[in-house]
Amino acid sequence: MKWEGQEQSDNVEDRRGDGGGGRRGGIPVMGGRGLGLGSVAIALVAGWIFGINPLTVLGLLEGGGAPPAAQAPARPAHKPPAEDKAAAFVSVVLRDTEQVWGRVFQAAGGRYDQPRLVLFRGATPTACGTGESAMGPFYCPGDSKVYIDLDFFDTLSRRLGAPGDFAQAYVIAHEVGHHVQHLMGVTDKVDQARSRMSKAQANAASVRVELQADCLAGVWAHHSQQGKGWLERGDIEEALNAASRIGDDTLQRQSQGRVVPESFTHGSSEQRMRWFKRGMDGGVVAQCNTFEAKL
């Protein structure tokens, strides 16, 4: 991906120097509640790497509704240092998503409200409770922010076997896809329905949400390439490989040695690749209706 020297987003907020990134003894504190390691472990196995809002999943595991939103303190946004290459990459990709989705929304007669992207280390307050690095990147609809600990890209590359800049771009585009879902009202609708669902039904709904975010990431990739022509040989494969490596079946096989489809929250490797590809091939949001399609 020929990203260097491209325009960067103003919506990146660097909290890495805040010093508040302790692991708090390894037990995440969310919405003011401590969670036992048991449910945290289960939630991790459930694979909410790239979760839309991990706290929703945790809320389900705890048997309660969504935890109360913890108010993130208002603070001035720090920009990442100019020489920080990883941060520059994220800013460039985020800027391109702003341009692409700005055009797509405008063409549909709407307006795209840009999300912010927070770089953090360890832990950080969000409108969805305390965000933790261990969750992987996530989007919080309560404050319209994407949260990423850049160390995740090492995990993605080395531990999950998905290296490459376009694999990283796909991760960012997937999270921005959750923001698009939020703007389209999908998130609220699903969250409302979730309260009346069994665990298995809620998981199935989560899969549809996540595959749609993958498809929207593909829609971005389509228009991004049309606009900038910046993809290089192997880039598409990097994104497809990443989609495959974070499929629920692949992650479960890795972490627990067996696959439990009822517990899927993000979709199988095959599904994730297929929906990303579908978005990328057509570049049409309407083709991302995972709620009325056979998955």
Residues that bind Zn ion (CB under 5 A): 50, 52, 210, 213
Least distance to Zn ion, CB of residue 133, Å: 16
Identify which of residues 96 and 175 has a Cβ nearer to Zn ion in the complex: 175
CB closest to Zn ion, residue no = 50
Identify which of residues 80 and 149 has a Cβ nearer to Zn ion in the complex: 149
Least distance to Zn ion, CB of residue 213, Å: 5
Identify which of residues 30 and 88 has a Cβ nearer to Zn ion in the complex: 30
Identify which of residues 52 and 280 has a Cβ nearer to Zn ion in the complex: 52
Least distance to Zn ion, CB of residue 267, Å: 10
- 26: alpha, beta or left, given left = phi > 0 and alpha = psi -120 to 50? left
Least distance to Zn ion, CB of residue 186, Å: 12
Identify which of residues 88 and 274 has a Cβ nearer to Zn ion in the complex: 274
Least distance to Zn ion, CB of residue 43, Å: 14
